[in-house]
């Protein structure tokens, strides 16, 4: 169980979103990763753990809803995928694999004795690519990009021998009219070493690893460069298809092999979690001797009709998972401890390390989290430490090898390094925070960065570097100043990196936010404990920002106003107190009123899907006979409804199966509409 305050969770989720977005951009769009796969997996896993513990803090830019990265500025043409290219959730232990099988069993309402067959194959570390064949002929190849839009690399894959221009069997009429084969473009280990030797001899760029080499080679404007590189392809699935001529994953992969594309020679069927884990161990033993890099094993539900029922979550299928190999540990020296000041004034210690290679990546920094963590590990500058990049935590120091040496303990600062204001820990909290508030330049800059971030106002062109530059020039002191930058156009033009067009683009992007989404604006203010999801929940209830402010002010007095706020799902006493404190502080009121003199957020309107139950709250009770409770809830959410666990006056509809008890009685007492499972199926069918 995660034990931390909501504020800490919100702050960590924000940091994780930024770290993962940067990692995605460097990996998918620029082919220049700066962290290992293990560290990336750890970040994603930590994000998932926090979102599970604090679902009301899930951010609009949550990494759990992102796949890859949007295509960066590139000479290659952008193309949209007809069927989104998803990623996979990860498992790191045998127990998690067993739980994955259990989730599938529960979702499909299968008995414990029912056999759940899975396919298992090695997870190759390459660049995802989709090959679209029409009437058996290759018409387009595209990279994954952000899962929805990739880059057209059709001319480039023509030089990859593993990818046929025409599928075998076309004359036998056994190839669908449209079929997109998906897999990984990769470079074999031996070919990678030979390429780097040639690059070094010619004085050209040396590639960090085979994956980078493959990505850089495929994403070339000049296809002749791709032709000179030894690229390979391995198929692992499919996307859009006019027909799927098989009933199982295994049979379909065999058919793709028959059509002339290579598939993994290690692909097998497994009838139990034990068989899956055994195959994982077998592949792990062969890992070093395989001709290509792998980082785990992928399991998929074999029956395609079950895959269809299981469907997808935000960015991954429920019917598949990647069982990742464990990461490494390494020893190094803690050379310094620096203190960073965040948006909320939190002082975060960062360890500066003697560079150490872990999982093929050089590591120089590690977060030390807080004062208590430093004390727990007994860390001092000069200590020898063990650094872990396992899958179940953010990369961290796990052991101090020299803590028994006699040396003066590290003294955590009691004053802010940025503004020299007193730094204290509030009662019951482990974090030390600067008390300087908006007089602290670090907090002001961080709050401005947060205000324009993607999850808040999302002002394109106003990035971190620009905010810092304009802040130090005295042009940006508060959010409202952003909307007054148009008055400084002549001052901006001519500064390094700024020309007429770039300035006009920035000012246009700012002007486009004069009527911002109210929930985004509320989140952008950086009120403690008010994350993106909570901001949306608040605006759903109060519709306009002035009404919300009045409610927050009234709630300081308790009574009905407080009860009204607390009735909102996801809003607890901590959020109510934070809102009241924010609107009680004169400086915050001044910032608020100044901002609203520049922007006019419209009344908040919730967009819902076009279905009979969109926007409604639904409760499922009793035994469902054709699906599991989880599957029913997933259907409701897909139709724009909210699936609740209990009946209340806010419930709009109850779907009752055999054995429905107290919830059904409560629905009757409240006069709530009740339907059976068959009627629910008709609603789902009508929505298409």
216-271: pLDDT as tens digits: 888 887 778 888 888 999 999 999 999 999 999 999 999 999 999 999 999 999 99
Q: Please report the pLDDT score of residue 172 as a whole number.
A: 44
Please say whether the beta carbons of 29 and 212 come within 8 A.
no
3-class SS at 410? coil
Domain presence at residue 432: no
Q: Please report the pLDDT score of residue 38 as a whole number.
A: 65
The residue among 299, 324, 349 that closes a domain is: 324
Q: What confidence tens digit (pLDDT) does each residue in 120-150 have?
A: 999 998 899 999 999 999 999 999 888 888 8
CATH of the domain at 303: 3.30.470.30
Residues in the chain: 688
Q: What are residue 298's DSSP bridge partners?
A: 121, 322
180 and 285, same domain (yes or no): yes
CB neighbours of 559 closer than 8 A, spacing ≥ 6?
A: none
Q: What confidence tens digit (pLDDT) does each residue in 7-52 have?
A: 777 778 877 888 888 777 776 555 566 676 667 777 888 888 888 8
d(CA 398, CA 403): 12
Please say whether the beta carbons of 379 and 334 come within 8 A.
yes
d(CA 199, CA 190): 14
Domain presence at residue 601: no
313 and 335, same domain (yes or no): no
172 and 218, same domain (yes or no): yes
Please say whether the beta carbons of 350 and 335 come within 8 A.
no
d(CA 104, CA 569): 29
- For residue 202, how far is the Cα from the chain centroid? 40
Domain presence at residue 248: yes
CATH of the domain at 34: 1.10.287.610
Whose structure tokens read 């010619």? 202
The residue among 65, 92, 107 that closes a domain is: 65
Domain tally, the chain: 5
DSSP code per residue over 270-333: ESSHHHHHHHHHHHHHHGGGSSS-EEEEEEEESBHHHHHHH-B-SSSBTTEEEEEPP--EEEEE
642 and 527, same domain (yes or no): no
Residue 547: CB atoms within 10 Å: 13
Q: Which of 199 and 500 is assigned the larger pLDDT?
A: 500
pTM, entire model: 0.52
Give me 446's structure tokens.
């961080």
CB-count burial class (<10 Å; 0-12, 13-18, 19+) for 158: middle
Domain presence at residue 497: no
Q: Please report the pLDDT score of residue 389 as a whole number.
A: 58
Does pLDDT of 175 surpass 90? no
Reduce the secondary structure of 121-153 to three states and give it as a string. EEEECCEEEEEEEECCEEEEEEECCCCCEEEEC
d(CA 686, CA 688): 5
Range of the domain at 223: 84-324
Select from 271, 269, 275 the least CA-distant residue to 115.
Answer: 271
Positions marked catalytic: 123
225 and 359, same domain (yes or no): no
257 and 374, same domain (yes or no): no
Percent of the chain at pLDDT exceeding 70: 91
Beta strands in 345-459, from DSSP E residues, in sequence order: 347-358, 361-367, 384-388, 396-400, 423-425, 432-434
Q: Please report the pLDDT score of residue 30 as a whole number.
A: 58
Select from 519, 510, 517 the least CA-distant residue to 492.
Answer: 510
The residue among 384, 400, 416 that closes a domain is: 400
Q: How crowded is the C-beta side of 15, counted as CA atoms within 13 Å?
A: 19
Q: What confidence tens digit (pLDDT) does each residue in 600-625 have?
A: 999 987 655 568 888 788 988 888 88
CATH of the domain at 364: 2.40.50.140
125 and 226, same domain (yes or no): yes
Domain presence at residue 587: yes
DSSP code per residue over 512-548: TTSS--HHHHHHHTT-TT--HHHHHHHHHHH-SHHHH
Give me 212's structure tokens.
């980078």
236 and 107, same domain (yes or no): yes
Q: Please give the helix or strand (H or E) that residue 179 lies within, else none.
A: strand 178-186
Domain presence at residue 230: yes
188 and 277, same domain (yes or no): yes
d(CA 688, CA 666): 31
CATH of the domain at 550: 1.10.150.20
Q: What are residue 143's DSSP bridge partners?
A: 129
Domain presence at residue 303: yes
256 and 313, same domain (yes or no): yes
Q: Which of 444 and 262 is assigned the larger pLDDT?
A: 262
In angstroms and rounded to an integer, the radius of gyration of the C-alpha atoms of the chain is 28
Q: Are strands 673-675 and 653-656 parallel, antiparallel or unpaired?
A: parallel
Domain presence at residue 59: yes
381 and 276, same domain (yes or no): no
d(CA 685, CA 688): 5
CATH of the domain at 674: 3.40.50.10190
Please say whether the beta carbons of 513 and 599 come within 8 A.
yes
Please say whether the beta carbons of 447 and 428 come within 8 A.
no
d(CA 518, CA 500): 31
Angle between helices 441-451 and 464-472 (to 10 degrees): 140
Select from 327, 318, 282, 271 the least CA-distant residue to 122.
Answer: 282
393 and 304, same domain (yes or no): no
Q: Which of 3 and 57 is assigned the larger pLDDT?
A: 57
């Amino acid at each position: 169980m995660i034990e931390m305050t909501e504020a800490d969770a919100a702050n960590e989720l924000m940091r994780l979103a930024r770290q993962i977005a940067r990692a995605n951009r460097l990996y998918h769009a620029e082919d220049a990763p700066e962290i290992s796969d293990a560290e990336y997996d750890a970040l994603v896993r930590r994000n998932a753990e926090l979102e599970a513990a604090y679902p009301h803090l899930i951010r609009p830019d949550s990494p759990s809803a992102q796949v890859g990265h949007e295509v960066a500025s590139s000479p290659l043409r952008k193309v949209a995928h007809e069927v989104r290219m998803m990623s996979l959730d990860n498992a790191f232990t045998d127990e998690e694999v067993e739980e994955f099988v259990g989730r599938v069993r529960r979702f499909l309402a299968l008995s414990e004795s029912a056999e759940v067959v899975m396919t298992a194959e090695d997870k190759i570390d390459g660049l995802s690519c989709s090959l679209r064949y029409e009437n058996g002929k290759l018409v387009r190849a595209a990279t994954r990009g952000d899962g929805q839009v990739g880059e057209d690399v059709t001319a480039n894959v023509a030089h990859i021998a593993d990818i046929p221009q025409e599928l075998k069997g076309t004359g036998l009429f056994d190839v669908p009219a449209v079929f997109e084969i998906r897999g990984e473009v990769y470079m074999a280990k031996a070919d990678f070493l030979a390429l780097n030797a040639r690059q070094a001899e010619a004085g050209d760029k040396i590639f960090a690893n085979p994956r980078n080499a493959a990505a850089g080679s495929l994403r070339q404007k000049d296809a002749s460069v791709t032709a000179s590189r030894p690229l390979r392809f391995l198929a692992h699935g499919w996307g859009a298809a006019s027909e799927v001529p098989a009933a199982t994953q295994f049979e379909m992969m065999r058919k793709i092999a028959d059509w002339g594309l290579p598939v993994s020679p290690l692909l097998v069927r497994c009838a139990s979690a034990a068989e899956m884990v055994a195959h994982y161990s077998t592949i792990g033993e062969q890992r070093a001797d395989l001709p290509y890099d792998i980082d785990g094993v992928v399991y998929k539900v074999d029956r395609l009709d079950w895959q269809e029922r299981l469907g997808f979550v935000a960015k991954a299928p429920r019917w598949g998972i990647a069982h990742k190999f464990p990461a490494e540990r390494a020893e190094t020296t803690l050379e310094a401890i620096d203190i960073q000041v965040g948006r909320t004034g939190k002082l975060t210690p960062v360890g500066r390390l003697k560079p150490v290679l872990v999982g093929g990546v050089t590591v120089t920094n590690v977060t030390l989290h807080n004062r208590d963590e430093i004390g727990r590990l007994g860390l001092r500058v000069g200590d020898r430490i063990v650094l872990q990049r396992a899958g179940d935590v953010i990369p961290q120091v796990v052991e101090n090898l020299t803590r028994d040496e006699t040396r003066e303990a590290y003294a955590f600062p009691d004053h802010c390094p940025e503004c020299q204001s007193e730094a204290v820990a509030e009662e019951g909290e482990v974090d030390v925070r600067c008390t300087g508030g908006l007089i602290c330049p670090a907090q002001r800059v961080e709050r401005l960065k947060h205000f324009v971030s993607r999850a808040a106002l999302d002002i394109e062109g106003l990035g971190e570097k620009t905010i810092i530059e304009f802040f130090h020039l005295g042009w940006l002191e508060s959010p409202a100043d952003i909307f007054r930058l148009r008055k400084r156009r002549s001052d901006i033009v001519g500064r390094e990196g700024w020309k007429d067009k770039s300035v006009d683009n920035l000012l246009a992007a700012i002007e486009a936010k004069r009527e911002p989404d109210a929930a985004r604006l509320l989140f952008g203010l950086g009120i403690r404990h008010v994350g993106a999801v909570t901001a949306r929940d608040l605006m759903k209830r109060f519709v306009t920002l002035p009404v919300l402010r009045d409610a927050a002010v009234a709630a300081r007095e308790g009574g009905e106003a407080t009860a009204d706020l607390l009735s909102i799902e996801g809003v607890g006493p901590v959020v109510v107190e934070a809102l009241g404190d924010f609107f009680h502080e004169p400086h915050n009121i001044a910032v608020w009123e100044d901002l609203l003199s520049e922007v006019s957020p419209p009344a908040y309107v919730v967009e819902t899907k076009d279905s009979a139950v969109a926007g409604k709250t639904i409760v499922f009770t009793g035994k469902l006979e054709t699906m599991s409770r989880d599957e029913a809830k997933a259907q409701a959410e897909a139709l724009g409804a909210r699936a609740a666990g209990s009946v209340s006056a806010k419930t709009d509809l109850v779907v009752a199966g055999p054995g429905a008890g107290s919830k059904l009685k409560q629905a009757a007492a409240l006069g709530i509409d009740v339907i059976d499972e068959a009627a629910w199926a008709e609603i789902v069918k009508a929505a298409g």
